[in-house]
Amino acid sequence: MMNDDKRQALARYVAELFAPEDEVLRELAEEIAESDMPEIYISPEEGRLLQVLLRMVKAARVLELGTLGGYSAIWMARALPEEGRLITVEKVPERAELARRHVERADLADRIEVRVGEARELLVDLAGEAPFDAVFIDADKKGYPEYLEWCIENVRSGGLVIADNAFKNGEVLEDSDDPGVRGIQEFNRRVATDPRFTSIVVPTRDGVAIALIN
Ligand code: MG
């Protein structure tokens, strides 16, 4: 059995070898850490994982629910082809503004569009822009099952539904009344058991669920 120190050292090894951050990503991560924003952005190795997955399904049209500061959006957009497009949805206007600033700095303004509003409201119109090749869900955890339903209708066959925080800080193991925990539990159960998906959770920092639509 490996101890925690060893695991952390191995995670660092993978991050440094496979997922070095450039200046734009490093500064954005620092700005998020210094702000009063919750530090809920993905890790560099998760960013790289998203890139590998998007390339595997040749994704060109991607939707993200939950922009935060744009950290994951920048990782994903860099894996898209020239004509690719990523729409990312953020509820909090200040976060959307921060994201736009860094998207600009990363020279990705033509590839990333940040939309402000509640995901569940914006999804109504976004259905008109379907099909998407992949959706990355990282918004309110309570909404995960509902977002998954939308994805079944609006992601092409052979496309991906990816979700962050599949472990919900370990709370996914508990019997909980918390709507967020229940949302994640329900999401995991559905992608694991519904025959329309081939799915797994990769045990990263907080678990990334990956569901291929058959
Ligand atoms: Mg997250």
> For 63-87, what is each residue's pLDDT tens digit?
999 999 999 999 999 999 999 999 9
Distance 38 CA to ligand 1 centre (A): 10
Q: What's phi and psi for 163, nearest 5 deg?
A: -135, 135
Instruction: Report the alpha-carbon distance of residue 100 to residue 64 in Å, rounded.
Output: 14
CA distances from 126 to 3, 53, 102, 129, 150 (A): 45, 22, 24, 5, 10
Distance 66 CA to ligand 1 centre (A): 8
Q: Which residue has the tokens 């609006």?
A: 154
Instruction: Report the alpha-carbon distance of residue 119 to residue 116 in Å, rounded.
Output: 9
CB 19 within 8 A of CB 13: no
Distance 40 CA to ligand 1 centre (A): 5
Q: Which residues surround ligand 1, an ion (CB under 5 A)?
A: 40, 138, 164-165
DSSP letters spanning 56-71: HTT--EEEEE--TTSH
Pairing of strands 112-116, 155-164: unpaired
Q: What's phi and psi for 89, nearest 5 deg?
A: -115, 130
Alpha helices in the chain (DSSP H): 4-18, 23-34, 44-56, 71-77, 93-105, 119-126, 144-154, 179-193
Q: What is the mean pLDDT of residues 42-63?
A: 97
pTM for the predicted model, two decimal places? 0.96
Instruction: Report the alpha-carbon distance of residue 211 to residue 208 in Å, rounded.
Output: 10
pLDDT at 209 over 90: yes
Distance 12 CA to ligand 1 centre (A): 19
Question: What integer pLDDT is reported at residue 1 of this predicted model?
Answer: 67
Distance 168 CA to ligand 1 centre (A): 9
> For 94-111, what is each residue's pLDDT tens digit?
999 999 999 999 999 999
CB 136 within 8 A of CB 211: no
